[in-house]
A and B are shown apart, each in its own frame.
Chain A
Amino acid sequence: MNALERVAATDFSASEMMIVAAARELAGRRVCFVGVGLPNIAVNLAKLTVATDLELVYEAGVFGARPARLPLSIGDPTIVTRATAVTSMFELFGFYLQGGLIDVGFLGAAQIDRFGNINSTVIGDYAHPTTRLPGSGGACEIAINAREVFVIMRQSRRSFVEHIDFRTSPGNPAGANGARIRQEQGWLGAGPSVVITDLGVYHFGGEGVMRLDSLHPGVTLEDVQGEMAWQPAVAERLVETAPPTAEELRLVRDVLDPDGIYTR
């Protein structure tokens, strides 16, 4: 990047900040299980900036995708054309994921708790829910077998809750005992490592609890506390997320999501 491209932009949306923050977290990672929507743009942005060797894996059965347009769904034909490999879903989940080849799995969530346990199944009682959500898809096995899990979601009191209504995908079960349970049960994954929201970025401490590490530009600690149901652990040195650079924004707006479907 030249000096001009490093200049921080001032006019950007909360979604764009989320995408850019998520992309930066992928620095140094090699193999990433991609979800559709925001994760897809974030992962493709990472490949163009901080992680140029990144291999994109889609649960539909694609390794090494090179999408030429923004995929409309998790199984868009553009992820097939010019990919390294197309596999059956048996191979994708069995050999690539459960076999331990996935560094990062990206998940969304309707609800999350402080331990990173995720609900994407129902709001309300399981038998008679107020809202029936999609369910696990591949999320449950991704949360268990990907080496680490990134969560990207909008933050509110309805989504950052004390108790999730249904455990679809495990985070750090039993909090500080999460790592022990994962090891004893032979899980390959270390669990959630990052949560990126429209307000800030969280990582997980040794006790398995989400910790607020950075606030997006213009967001205050009070804003964050107002959009979650528990008192968050806060980093000793809480920082401001570096705003998107002009180059990051150009890639998102002109290359990855030119119609602004996910970013406006």
Chain B
Amino acid sequence: MSESKVASMAEAIAASVHDGDTVAIEGFTHLISFAAGHEIIRQRKRDLTLARLTPDLIYDQMVGAGVARKLVFSWLGNPGVGGLHAVRRVTEGASASLELEEYSHFGMVGRYTAGAMNLPFFPLRSYFETDLPIANPLIRPIRSPYGDELVYAVPPLKPDVVIIHAQRADEGGNTQIWGLLGCQKEAAFAAKRVIVVVEELVGEEVIRADPNRTVIPGLIVEAVVVEPFGAHPSYAQGHYDRDNRFYLEWDAISRDARALERWLEEWVYGVTGRAGYRAKLGEERLASLRPGSAPSGSVDYGDYR
């Protein structure tokens, strides 16, 4: 067994995230590491390029806090609610100041995949007869070398840092996820450095008892941070539901730059790490997000000696 990679969030962010880095906090509506985003804000990182398929509330908060120079994305919004108002303030009208590089979902997934596989591009059947290759000249048409079929290519994305929230990992960073998988695996393998944030630290024997569920091997993980409810207000399958009340409240908070600033003061700068945030939310609120139970059956891997 390798050495422990367990670190505090403050240590992990300080060690891995540097001003000017390209950072991806992935997770498609599921398992979004708000805890890591808030620590990046607290450490006042600057000039980050933030990549993510769906920059949602966490990137709206990070943009509002001034950590970002650029967004790389495929869908920009508060899922199921509406727009991202901090992002809109710096992308609309004559004073638009945030740089945008936009793709489609499959384009972003393809970019991580090419990054993970050390390929010069990823080909896909998308973008035909649209304005996306005009808005983003990095989306380019190419001919098949085996005929004259046309496809579009997107360039590899290799973030400096990818941060993944998961249900569980062992001390070595071997990480298991269930529920929506998004593109966590592709993003992690594309990254130079991977931080894993988990609901629960488990023994290596728990991981080895169910190896099909391992999405990210400790081999590529820099640090393991244990933060129960670290994905709140997004959700962790089987642990807690999305806190939709906050997604609705954010719509109002983010419309007003000063209200947003007050919110950051109260919930990010003003709390001592994620433990402080959890305490401030309160047991009752957290308990209200617990789902009922729907356990999987178990399989027998067989013992072969």
Determine the main DSSP class of A at the interface with B: loop
B294 proximity list for chain A (CB < 8 A)? 81-82
Say which residue of B73, B77, B92, B125 sits within 8 Å of A141 (CB atoms).
B125
A181 proximity list for chain B (CB < 8 A)? 128-129
**Interface size class for chain B?**
35 or more
B138 proximity list for chain A (CB < 8 A)? none
* A136:B132 contact, CB within 8 angstroms: yes
List residues of chain A with CB under 8 Å of any chain B CB. 36-37, 59-62, 71-77, 80-82, 86-90, 93-94, 97-98, 117, 121, 126-141, 144-145, 166-170, 173, 181, 185-188
* A132:B182 contact, CB within 8 angstroms: no
Determine the main DSSP class of B at the interface with A: loop
* A168:B130 contact, CB within 8 angstroms: yes
B267 proximity list for chain A (CB < 8 A)? none
Say which residue of A89, A167, A188 sits within 8 Å of B131 (CB atoms).
A167
Assuming the contacts A75-B79, A80-B237, asked whether A126 and B131 have C-beta atoms less than 8 A apart, the reply is: yes
Residue ID in chain B nearest A137 by CB atoms? B75
Say which residue of A129, A130, A133, A144 sits within 8 Å of B126 (CB atoms).
A144
Say which residue of A36, A121, A132, A139 sits within 8 Å of B79 (CB atoms).
A36
Assuming the contacts A80-B179, A80-B180, A144-B125, asked whether A134 and B237 have C-beta atoms less than 8 A apart, the reply is: no
Indicate whether B183 reaches chain A with its CB closer than 8 angstroms.
yes
List residues of chain B with CB under 8 Å of any chain A CB. 28-30, 53-54, 73-77, 79-80, 83, 87-88, 91-94, 96, 102-106, 109, 113, 124-132, 135, 149-150, 178-183, 185-186, 235, 237, 241-242, 244, 247, 291, 294
A-B contact count (CB 8 A): 174
* B182:A61 contact, CB within 8 angstroms: yes
* B124:A89 contact, CB within 8 angstroms: no
A78, B106: Cα distance in complex, Å:
23
* A59:B105 contact, CB within 8 angstroms: yes
Say which residue of B29, B92, B109 sits within 8 Å of A74 (CB atoms).
B29
Separation in Å of the B291 CB from the closest CB of chain A?
Answer: 7
* A167:B291 contact, CB within 8 angstroms: no
Residue ID in chain B nearest A93 by CB atoms? B106
* B125:A89 contact, CB within 8 angstroms: no
Say which residue of B75, B104, B128 sits within 8 Å of A187 (CB atoms).
B128
Separation in Å of the A251 CB from the closest CB of chain B?
Answer: 21
* A60:B126 contact, CB within 8 angstroms: no
